Amino acid sequence: MSVIHICSLKVVESLSAEIGPSHVLSLLAGITPFPPTPRGIDPRNHLKVTLADIAEAEPGMILPATDHVAEVIAFGQRWARDGGGKPLLVHCFAGISRSSASALTIACALRPSTKEHVYTEALRAASAYCQPNRLIVQHADELLARNGRFVDAVTAMGDGDFSQAGKPYQLRLDI
């Protein structure tokens, strides 16, 4: 079973110890230092992507770009190929936006025949507070030739309920 676990920076180490992922994807803005590669993970299987959780350019911030999303997709494909059935751990600072957008992107890339709304509905059921970064989703929609369907599915999720933020959640790819 292919599972993507999503969490905040705060719980990366403890969640990694609990679930034993083969790969870790870290998405941070460059303000907070990246965590060390969790114990038991080959450093080559820890991708660190520097991008801010923004959808429009802001001075001093790194706007998510097509190249970032292409790198996330390639990493997800490598996990699927080389991960040995172990989970993927994806995190950003709060576990709300960049990480959920990246998890959805990887799911859609790995299972192109699965309708986008299947994954967005599963993600909303798993987390009332996730709110995928719209720019990451827009880039993924274009790269994966989803013709606006990925953007529409994320829009249909609505806004997250941040009062419940903090608990790790997961996205199963075999739904």
Where do we find the tokens 């059921």?
125
In DSSP terms, which residues pair with 3 in a beta bridge? 172
Q: What is the mean pLDDT of the chain?
A: 95
pTM of this prediction exceeds 0.85: yes
Instruction: State pLDDT tens for residues 40-87.
Output: 999 999 999 999 999 999 999 999 999 999 999 999 999 999 998 999
**What is the side-by-side strand order in the sheet with 169-172?**
46-50, 23-28, 88-92, 3-8, 169-172
Return the ∠ at Cα 39 (arms to 84 and 100), rounded to 5°.
65
- 85, burial (CB in 10 Å: exposed 0-12, middle 13-18, buried 19+): exposed
Q: Residue 48: give the domain boundaries.
A: 3-172
Helix (H, G, I), strand (E, B) or coil at 24: strand
pLDDT grade for 162, boundaries at 50, 70 and 90: confident
- Tally of domains in the chain: 1
What pLDDT is attached to residue 165? 78
Give the range among 16-20, 87-91, 164-168 with minimum mean pLDDT: 164-168
Reply yes or no on whether the pLDDT at 1 is more than 90: no
Instruction: State pLDDT tens for residues 94-122.
Output: 999 999 999 999 999 999 999 999 999 99
pLDDT grade for 126, boundaries at 50, 70 and 90: very high
CATH number at residue 92: 3.90.190.10
The DSSP annotation for 30-80 comes to SSSPPPPPPTTS-GGGEEEEE--S-SS--TT-----HHHHHHHHHHHHHHH
Instruction: State pLDDT tens for residues 7-43.
Output: 999 999 999 999 999 999 999 999 999 999 999 999 9
Position with higher pLDDT, 112 vs 175: 112
Pairing of strands 169-172, 3-8: antiparallel
In DSSP terms, which residues pair with 90 in a beta bridge? 6, 25
